[in-house]
């Protein structure tokens, strides 16, 4: 017997609280005020502290989880200080760095921040540019750093107690541009760079510090310098950095468990090195800002892992659980799709055709307020632009197939009668395609410019045809003869739905699927209608029907999704429309123009399944 776990991949659980939608990854944060690499960082994801760069600046900035604002100014401007700061937004410590012009190689000056202003601390025992600092303002450890040109590193380790530095046991591998996390008595240093004795060396070594000595930890999967890190000795996170030659700068995110590194699925959207980071952040909540992508970026990214339980990092749609606190049986359900208004088309029209996708769509033909039109407009997901190309035969109630750069206009009504001519669009202009001996209007189309199928419509004899890019061939007819119907899918897996069933004015809810050789009846639309809008790029098993007319005069706002067997009513169009020009898929669809019954230029945009939500199971 099949059980629930075998179906869904997890057991029904008892939980004391509703699971938080599982999200683990990087989210865009507020942009940093500058974009130079080398910003020092401290604090947490929602209370971070960064210093600027650009150049050799004394500025510092505070982050509140949303945006950066100016903090206090250091007395010593400094750059090249990525790992030179540690602590929190209200108790930070910065040491060393570079200042030009300066009489010395690096800086020895230490400064402390209290959330509003900087004060001088005890000088570091040696000049450092890039330092390797971690811990707190009153219990910090600095291990090595860039102590001389050309990119020579030291491995001297010193402790800071809030007023002065004292010598401690040296670490094993001299380096700088490392990533550090943890505290003075339980810290980690990983990766880094040096040029001693003369060639570039990228390090993969990890060293752990217990407050008195350094020991080897698990090596990084790849040598890396300029990364950043947060967390604790047993729960650290390491992100970004630069690897030798290829791949260069990376957005890789790694987790450390006190022994070894594992790759996390999330990566920084902007691969970067030399970035600032929330040095007191955690493995599940940290922050990265600026850095070299290259060139430099000012973007901030926030890492969050609020997985509801181990191993669950994504929404589990359909997850069923019992909340032992509220004593309710619940499940995680898919969110609903919705319509939103879009930008107007340039030529108000109805009864035309659409093709392509939501971000690369096309509309053409139809009836504008004065006459049939051959006008063509391209849609980029935001706005419509008129193409210089216009069909040579203005027409309405035509079939359509293809994409924005390879569209097909199939026959249609071109008063005083129907036309059998097709036209092909190449992204800028229309050229004549094959002409069908049987002229058909009110038909639907599906497929591509070179492998299309046209079905239904008003005309004599056989009313389904395939098109191969140059000529039409007869194909099996629909079981329910109709015109002004909807259609989607491909030449060998098409879907026909709705329409008008002559004689008379009866509208149809019938749905038929085509398998390349015959049409088979499937589940009816919930709302029978003609002049129906549809997402032409939708496959046979996931179609969308919207708008239309329940009779010859009224308009409908009904929207329905098809799952391969059944139509389900979903959110209505904001305004009832008929004979719209549409394209896209069940996930993203555009609906342009149409009749209310007045011919309009307005558009609507459909976004499918929304965010998952927790729903309570009730009984009656």
Binding site for other proteins (CB under 8 A): 21, 23-31, 37-38, 66-67, 80, 98, 129, 149-151, 195, 242, 245, 248, 251, 266-267, 269-271, 274, 292-295, 297, 299-300, 302-304, 313-314, 357-360, 380-382, 585-588, 605, 607-608, 611
CA 294 to each of CA 34, 191, 242, 302: distance values in angstroms, whole numbers, following the listed order: 14, 20, 10, 20
- Rounded to a whole number of angstroms, the minimum distance from the CB of residue 525 to other proteins is 23
- Rounded to a whole number of angstroms, the minimum distance from the CB of residue 270 to other proteins is 4
- Rounded to a whole number of angstroms, the minimum distance from the CB of residue 512 to other proteins is 26
Please tell me the distance from the alpha carbon of residue 184 to that of residue 165, in angstroms, as a whole number: 13
57 Cβ contact list (under 8 Å, min separation 6): 34, 51, 77, 78, 79
Pick the closer one to other proteins by CB: 98 or 330: 98
Pick the closer one to other proteins by CB: 27 or 114: 27
Count Cβ atoms below 10 Å from residue 311 Cβ, excluding itself.
Answer: 8
- Rounded to a whole number of angstroms, the minimum distance from the CB of residue 360 to other proteins is 7
Pick the closer one to other proteins by CB: 494 or 535: 535
Pick the closer one to other proteins by CB: 2 or 382: 382
- Rounded to a whole number of angstroms, the minimum distance from the CB of residue 27 to other proteins is 4
- Pairing verdict, β 110-113 and 91-95: antiparallel
- Rounded to a whole number of angstroms, the minimum distance from the CB of residue 23 to other proteins is 5
- Rounded to a whole number of angstroms, the minimum distance from the CB of residue 463 to other proteins is 33
| Contact indicator for 99, 120 with CB cutoff of 8 Å | no
Identify the H or E element spanning 7.
helix 4-8
Please tell me the distance from the alpha carbon of residue 255 to that of residue 234, in angstroms, as a whole number: 9
Pick the closer one to other proteins by CB: 297 or 436: 297
Pick the closer one to other proteins by CB: 265 or 416: 265
Instruction: Report the sign of the C-alpha dihedral through residues 366, 368, 374, 377, in that order.
Output: negative
- Rounded to a whole number of angstroms, the minimum distance from the CB of residue 125 to other proteins is 23
590 Cβ contact list (under 8 Å, min separation 6): 342, 354, 358, 361, 379, 582, 583, 584, 603, 604, 605, 606
Pick the closer one to other proteins by CB: 63 or 209: 63
Please tell me the distance from the alpha carbon of residue 164 to that of residue 170, in angstroms, as a whole number: 18
Pick the closer one to other proteins by CB: 302 or 377: 302
Please tell me the distance from the alpha carbon of residue 96 to that of residue 144, in angstroms, as a whole number: 11
3-state secondary structure of 6: helix
Pick the closer one to other proteins by CB: 404 or 556: 404
Pick the closer one to other proteins by CB: 211 or 587: 587
Q: How far is CA 418 from the centre of its chain?
A: 45
Helices (H) and strands (E) in the chain, counts: 1, 54
CA 33 to each of CA 50, 116, 288, 470: distance values in angstroms, whole numbers, following the listed order: 10, 18, 14, 58
Residue 2 carries which DSSP code? -
Please tell me the distance from the alpha carbon of residue 506 to that of residue 149, in angstroms, as a whole number: 87
Pick the closer one to other proteins by CB: 146 or 557: 146
- Rounded to a whole number of angstroms, the minimum distance from the CB of residue 605 to other proteins is 7
- Rounded to a whole number of angstroms, the minimum distance from the CB of residue 559 to other proteins is 16
- Rounded to a whole number of angstroms, the minimum distance from the CB of residue 212 to other proteins is 33
Q: What is the DSSP string of 416-445?
A: TEEEEEEEEE-SS-EEEEEE-SS--BS-EE
């Amino acid at each position: 017997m099949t059980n629930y776990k075998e179906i869904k991949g997890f057991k029904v659980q008892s939980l004391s609280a509703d699971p938080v939608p599982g999200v683990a990854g990087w989210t865009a944060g507020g942009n940093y005020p500058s974009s130079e690499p080398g910003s020092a960082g401290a604090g947490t994801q929602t209370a971070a502290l960064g210093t600027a760069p650009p150049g050799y600046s004394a500025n510092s900035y505070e982050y509140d989880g949303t945006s950066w604002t100016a903090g206090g100014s250091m007395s010593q401007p400094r750059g090249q200080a990525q790992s030179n700061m540690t602590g929190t937004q209200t108790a930070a410590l910065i040491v060393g760095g570079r200042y030009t012009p300066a009489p010395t190689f690096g800086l020895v000056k230490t400064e402390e921040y209290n959330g509003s202003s900087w004060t001088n601390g005890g000088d570091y025992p040696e000049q450092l540019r890039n330092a390797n600092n971690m811990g707190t303002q009153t219990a910090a450890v600095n291990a090595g750093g860039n102590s001389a040109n050309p990119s020579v590193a030291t491995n001297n380790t010193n402790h800071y107690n809030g007023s002065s530095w004292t010598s401690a046991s040296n670490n094993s591998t001299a380096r700088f541009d490392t990533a550090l996390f943890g505290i003075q008595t339980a810290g980690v240093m990983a990766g880094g760079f040096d040029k001693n004795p003369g060639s570039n060396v990228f390090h993969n070594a990890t060293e752990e510090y217990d407050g008195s000595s350094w020991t080897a930890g698990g090596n990084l999967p790849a040598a890396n310098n300029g990364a950043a890190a947060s967390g604790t000795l047993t729960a650290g996170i390491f992100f970004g950095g630069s690897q030798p030659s290829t791949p260069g700068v990376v957005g890789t995110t790694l987790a450390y468990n006190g022994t070894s590194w594992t790759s996390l699925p999330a990566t920084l959207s902007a691969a970067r090195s030399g970035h600032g980071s929330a040095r007191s952040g955690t493995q599940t909540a940290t922050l990265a800002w600026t850095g070299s992508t290259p060139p430099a970026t000012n973007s901030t990214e926030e890492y969050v892992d609020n997985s509801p339980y181990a191993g669950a990092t994504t929404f589990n749609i359909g997850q069923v659980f019992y909340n032992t606190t509220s004593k309710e049986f619940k499940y995680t359900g898919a969110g609903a799709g919705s319509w939103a208004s879009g930008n107007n088309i340039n030529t108000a029209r109805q009864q035309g055709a659409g093709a392509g996708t939501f971000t690369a769509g096309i509309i053409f033909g139809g009836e504008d307020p004065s006459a049939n039109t051959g006008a063509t407009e391209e849609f980029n997901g935001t706005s419509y632009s008129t193409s210089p190309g216009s069909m040579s035969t203005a027409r309405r109630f035509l079939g359509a197939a293809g994409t924005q750069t390879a569209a097909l206009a199939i026959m249609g009504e071109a008063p005083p009668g129907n036309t059998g001519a097709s036209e092909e669009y190449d992204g800028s202009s229309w050229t004549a395609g094959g002409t069908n001996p049987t002229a058909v209007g009110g038909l639907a189309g599906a497929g591509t410019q070179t492998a299309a199928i046209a079905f239904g419509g008003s005309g004599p004899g056989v009313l389904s045809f395939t098109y191969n890019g140059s000529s039409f061939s007869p194909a099996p007819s629909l079981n329910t003869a109709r015109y002004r119907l909807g259609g989607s899918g491909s030449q060998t897996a098409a879907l026909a739905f709705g329409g008008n069933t002559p004689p008379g004015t009866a509208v149809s809810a019938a749905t038929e699927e085509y398998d390349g050789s015959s049409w088979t009846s499937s589940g009816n639309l919930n709302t029978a209608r003609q002049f129906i809008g549809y997402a032409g790029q939708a496959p046979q098993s996931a179609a969308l029907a919207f708008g239309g007319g329940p009779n010859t005069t009224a308009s409908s706002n009904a929207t329905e999704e098809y799952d391969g067997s059944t139509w389900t009513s979903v959110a209505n169009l904001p305004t009832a429309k008929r004979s719209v020009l549409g394209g896209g898929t069940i996930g993203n669809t555009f609906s342009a123009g149409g009749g209310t019954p007045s011919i309009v230029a307005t558009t609507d945009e459909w976004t499918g399944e929304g965010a998952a939500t927790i729903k309570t199971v009730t009984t009656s």
